[in-house]
A and B are shown apart, each in its own frame.
Chain A
Amino acid sequence: MTQNIKIRKGVDIKLVGTPAETVSVAKRSKTYAVKPPDFVGLTPKLKVKEGETVQAGSSLFYDKKKESVQYASPVSGKVSAIVRGAKRRILAVIVEADASDTYIDHGALDISKSSSEEILNRILEGGMFPFFRQIPFDVVADPSDSPRSIHISGFDSSPLAGSSCSSLEGRVEDFQNGINALAKIAGEGGVHLGVKPGCNVFGSVTGCTKTEFSGPHPAGNVGVQIHNTMPVNKGEVVWTIGYQDVANIGSLLSSGKYMPTKVVACGGSECANPQHVSALVGAEVQSLTEIPEEASNGDSVRIISGSVLTGEKVEKDGHLGAYHIGLALIPEGNESRFLLSNGWLSLGLDRFSMSKSYLSWLRPKSKEYTLDTNLGGEERAFVVTGEYEKVFPFDIYPVHLLKSILVNDIDAMEKLGIYEVSPEDFALCEYVCTSKVPVQQIVREGLDTLRNELG
Chain B
Amino acid sequence: MKFVKNIIESVKPHFEEGGKLSKFWVVFDSLETFAFTPGHVTHNGSHIRDGIDLKRTMFTVIVALLPALLFGTWNIGDQYYASIGQDAELIDKVFIGLHKVLPLIVVSYGVGLGIEFLFAGMRNHSINEGFLVSGMLIPLIMPVDVPLWMVAISVSFAVIIGKEVFGGTGMNIVNVALTSRAFLFFAYPKQMSGEIWIHNVGAAKDAGALVDGHTGATALGHLAGTVGKAMDSVEVTGIMSLFAEGGMFSLHNCIIGNIPGSIGETSVIAIAIGALVLIVSGIASWRIMASFLAGGLVMGALFNLMGMNAYMTIDPAHQIVMGGFMFGMVFMATDPVTAASTNTGKYIYGFFAGFFSIMIRVFNPAYPEGVMMAILFMNVMAPLIDHYVIQANINRRLKRLQTT
A positions within 8 Å CB-CB of B: 13, 15, 159, 231, 233-235, 302, 304, 308-313, 328, 330, 332-339, 341, 343-345, 348, 351-358, 360, 371-378, 380-387, 389, 395-397, 399-400, 415-417, 423, 427-428, 430-436, 438-441
B171 touches A336 (CB 8 A): no
In the complex, which residues 315-358 of chain B have their Cβ closer than 8 Å to any Cβ of chain A?
336-337, 339, 341-343, 346
Residue of B35, B54, B346 contacting most chain A CB atoms (<10 Å): B54
Q: What residues of A have a CB within 8 angstroms of the CB of B283 in the complex?
A: 355, 357, 384
B 30-51 binary contact with A (CB < 8 Å = 1; else 0): 0001111111111111111111
A-B contact pairs, 25 of them (CB 8 A): A233-B404, A304-B47, A309-B48, A333-B41, A336-B37, A339-B36, A343-B36, A351-B51, A355-B50, A355-B57, A357-B283, A372-B41, A374-B39, A375-B49, A376-B52, A378-B126, A380-B170, A381-B171, A384-B54, A384-B336, A386-B287, A400-B386, A427-B46, A432-B50, A440-B46
Known interface pairs A339-B35, A348-B51, A374-B40. Does A386 touch B45 (Cβ–Cβ under 8 Å)? Answer: no
Contact of B342 among A376, A382, A387, A397 (CB under 8 A): A397
Contact among B52, B169, B342 for A377, CB-based, below 8 A: B52
A366 to chain B, nearest CB (A): 18
Check if B67 is an interface residue, CB within 8 A of chain A: no
Tell me the complex Cα distance, A215–B344, Å: 23
- B45–A438 touching, CB < 8 Å: yes
Q: Which residue of A lies closest to B335 (CB)?
A: A383
Instruction: Please give 14 more A-B residue pairs, beta carbons under 8 A apart, in addition to A310-B46, A345-B59, A381-B128.
Output: A333-B39, A333-B41, A336-B38, A337-B36, A338-B4, A356-B280, A357-B59, A377-B37, A386-B343, A400-B386, A415-B394, A431-B49, A434-B53, A440-B44
Q: Which residues of A contact B57 (CB under 8 A)?
A: 355, 357, 383-384, 434
Residues of A close to B40: CB separation below 8 A: 334, 374-375, 378
Report yes or no: B53 in contact with A436, Cβ–Cβ below 8 A.
yes
Complex CA gap A360/B52 in Å reads 12
Is B121 among interface residues, defined by CB-CB distance under 8 A? Answer: no
B90 contact set on A, CB distance < 8 A: none
Residue in chain A with minimal CB distance to B55: A344
Asked if B13 CB lies within 8 Å of chain A CBs, one says no
Q: Could you tell me the dominant secondary structure of chain A's interface residues?
A: loop
A355 touches B390 (CB 8 A): no
Q: How many residue-residue contacts, CB under 8 A, span A and B?
A: 219
Distance to closest chain A CB from B288 (angstroms) = 10
Structural contact, B48 and A441, CB atoms closer than 8 A: no
Q: Enumerate chain A residues within 8 angstroms of B404, measured Cβ to Cβ.
A: 233
B interface, how many residues as a size bin? 35 or more
The answer, among A341, A356, A439, for a CB contact under 8 Å with B281, is A356
Mask: chain B, 164-179; 1 = CB below 8 Å from A; 0 = not: 0001111100000000
The answer to whether A338 touches B170 (Cβ under 8 A) is no
| Min CB gap A128→B, angstroms | 27
Contacts A233-B404, A358-B56, A383-B336 given: A378-B38 contact, CB under 8 Å?
A: yes
Q: For the complex, is B241 an interface residue (Cβ under 8 Å from A)?
A: no
What is the CA–CA distance of A353 and B126 in the complex, to the nearest angstrom?
24
Interface centre among A334, A337, A373, A432 (most CB of B within 10 A): A373
Complex interface residues of chain B between 263 and 312 (CB less than 8 A to chain A): 280-283, 285, 287
Please determine whether B56 and A344 come into contact, CB atoms closer than 8 angstroms.
yes
A77–B53 CA distance with the chains assembled, in angstroms: 50
In the complex, the 5 A-B pairs of residues with the closest C-beta atoms, listed nearest first: A377-B53, A381-B170, A351-B51, A440-B45, A338-B1
Determine whether B229 belongs to the interface, using a CB cutoff of 8 Å to chain A: no
